[in-house]
Amino acid sequence: MALTYRTRRRLSLLILLVGLPLYIVAAVSLADWLSARFGRLPILAEVAVYLGLGVVWALPFRFVFRGVGKGDPDGGAD
- Domain assignment present for residue 47? The answer is yes
- Domain assignment present for residue 51? The answer is yes
Q: Which domain holds residue 22?
A: 5-65
pTM for the whole structure: 0.74
- Domain assignment present for residue 12? The answer is yes
Quick: pLDDT tens for 66-75. 878 777 777 6
Give the span between the Cα atoms of 33 and 3, in whole angstroms: 37
- Domain assignment present for residue 48? The answer is yes
Quick: pLDDT tens for 12-67. 999 999 999 999 999 899 888 988 998 888 889 888 988 998 898 888 888 888 87
Q: Which of 55, 76, 59 is nearest to 7 (CA)?
A: 76
Question: How crowded is residue 15: how many other Cβ atoms within 10 Å of its Cβ?
Answer: 17
- Domain assignment present for residue 74? The answer is no
- Domain assignment present for residue 46? The answer is yes
Write out the H or E segment, with its range, that includes residue 22: helix 20-38
Number of domains composing the chain = 1
Give the span between the Cα atoms of 59 and 42, in whole angstroms: 26
- Domain assignment present for residue 73? The answer is no
- Domain assignment present for residue 75? The answer is no
